[in-house]
Amino acid sequence: MRILHLSWEYPPVVYGGLGRHVHALAEAQAALGHDVAVVTQAGEGAAAEEVVHGVRILRVAPVAPAPEDWRDGFLEWCFGFNTAVTTAAIPFARDWRPDVLHVHDWLVAQGSIMLRSALGLPVVLTVHATESGRTGGVLGTALSRGVDAIEGWVVGEADEVIVCSEYMRHEVVGLFDCDPEVLTVIPNGIDPREWSTTPSRKRAMRHRFGSPLIGFTGRLESEKGVQTLIDAMPVIRRSVPDARAVIVGTGGAEAELRNRVRRRRLSDAVHFAGYVSDEDLRAIVAASDVQVVPSLYEPFGFVALEAMVMGTPLVAARTGGLAGIVEDGVTGRLFAPGDAGDLAEAVVDMLAHPSHARRCLTAARRAAEEQYGWAAIAASTDAVYARALGDDDRGAG
């Protein structure tokens, strides 16, 4: 099968879980023998066209009226990006003749519908998150309302829709009043072989950040709940005075979070590591005594899988897809989202009972390997493509 993906991010341009998901899925599909191409955003120093691990990659730069930086006008940037995607993909696809178009989130909505119209391709949409979910249901800006409208439009236009969790299935159906029969739940995945580090790197990170170490990795946005972790630190340190937290990532809430740390006089206990390399990220996760995923909104929770395969005890908010990944008391600990006291109690429990933490992480790694392998996820995606092509009857999603 020839599969054409449209995604606004793909290595080396990766902002979060969406880019990692598309990258891993495309390479898993290529490994299964499919002919796979991705049209994505140009990145500094990246080739405009190349083949990497069996995946053809076309990278395009947005055209006018897009601003130079997407942060200066996101909808305008997306318009220019989709125009560039369409301009590049239509001649490529006419020559290459893909069987199915797989698009990822609203950011490539216009391009996907224009390509379907020009080429007659079935469209499979993966909804990685929703604007309403990210904002807690408050569409308080013109940008939020615009994104929400585009999401509803592309969900209604797609032939098949993939979501990453049962939580997301209910959210998409409720928000956009779409037919549940076109939705299929396929989880995100992870390759445990890629998530490893060396003992020396792990020791270096423990020396750098201290111990006991509480880790967070992800975008610094309000829905990721880093503020809950910061608010929990004084309570944690009353029981574990030497506890330290390292916050890895960047985002729009970083300045407010740094101010929060200063106001709480936690500058000696909370370290902002910023953006780090993949090698350092894995070493920090491995060096952490507890990895915290405090999200207020989380469609799936890829960072939880990272901790599970790295052998780091996990404490996660009981929200969204996280509640489906982590079994409380078995593969980790869950706490009420936004509740700093409950988070502190779960972290202290993990730190105070290392034998129980070790049992949890053994069960967590086994669950990650058995349930979230990319080969199985690629095969499940094949079944969705078959339905989009009219080659298979719909089974249970």
Q: Which tens digits make up the pLDDT trace of 186-197?
A: 988 888 888 889
Q: Which residue has the tokens 């000696």?
A: 268
Domain residue spans of the chain:
2-189+373-388, 192-371
- The answer to whether domain 2-189+373-388 and domain 192-371 are alike in fold is yes
Provide the edge-to-edge strand list for the sheet that holds 2-6.
Answer: 49-52, 55-60, 35-41, 2-6, 100-104, 123-127, 160-163, 183-185
pLDDT confidence band for 396 (50 / 70 / 90) = very low
Q: Where are the alpha helices (DSSP H) in the chain?
A: 17-31, 74-96, 109-119, 131-134, 142-157, 166-176, 199-209, 226-239, 254-263, 278-287, 302-310, 322-325, 340-352, 354-371, 374-388
Q: What is the pLDDT of residue 392?
A: 60
- Taking only the tens place, the pLDDT of each residue in 12-65 is 998 878 998 999 999 999 999 999 999 999 999 999 999 999 999 999 999 988
The pLDDT of residue 70: 84
Domain 192-371 in CATH 3.60.20.10? The answer is no
| pLDDT tens digits along 69-86 | 888 899 999 999 999 999
- CATH number for the region 2-189+373-388 comes to 3.40.50.2000
More confident position, 130 or 165: 130
pTM: 0.78
Strands across the sheet containing 244-248 = 270-274, 244-248, 213-217, 290-293, 314-317, 333-335
Evaluate whether 103 touches 82 at the Cβ level (below 8 Å): no
